[in-house]
Amino acid sequence: MTIRRISSGGVFEPRIGYCRAVVAGGFVHVAGTVGQGDDVVSQCRSALGIIGKALAEAGCGWEHVVRVTYMLPDAAEFEPCWPILAETFGANPPAATMIVCGLLDPKFRIEIEVTAVLP
């Protein structure tokens, strides 16, 4: 089996020892991704942009995502992201889980992780 690793060039990748995405066994596994911005909505959009680039580099798109996990330190901040998520996945919604947990830095309001199948 061929394994291909995709880096986004983020500062945490070499420090922690991971990459943005791994393509293996017909799947694309995208690491938990946080975005930039002052609030949960801007961070959500930013994280989705980073994930979208990794999916494209792997050879797939949002319509190929089969699983998504959202991690937020405050459950009340999830609902403002719903319209963005519904727009992103459109007619191809994946199975989803939302977890309330602490994130690496208190400035982070949402982390998103996805798994996609290769077309």
Contact 41, 80 (CB under 8 A): yes
CB atoms within 10 A of CB 14: 11
- Residue 24: strand pairing partners: 3, 27
66-106: per-residue pLDDT in tens?
999 999 999 999 999 999 999 999 999 999 999 999 999 99
- Tokens for 31, please give them: 């690491």
Q: Which domains does the chain have, with CATH numbers?
A: 3-117 (3.30.1330.40)
Reported pTM: 0.96
The total of other beta-carbon atoms located within 10 Å of residue 49's CB is 12
Whether residue 1 is predicted with pLDDT greater than 90 in this model: the reply is no
What does the pLDDT read at residue 10?
A: 84
Nearest to residue 22, comparing CAs of 9, 31, 13? Answer: 31
CA–CA–CA angle 21, 104, 38 (5° rounding): 95
Q: Which two tokens stand for residue 61?
A: 């798109």
Q: For 34-60, what is each residue's pLDDT tens digit?
A: 999 999 999 999 999 999 999 999 999
Residue type, 73: P
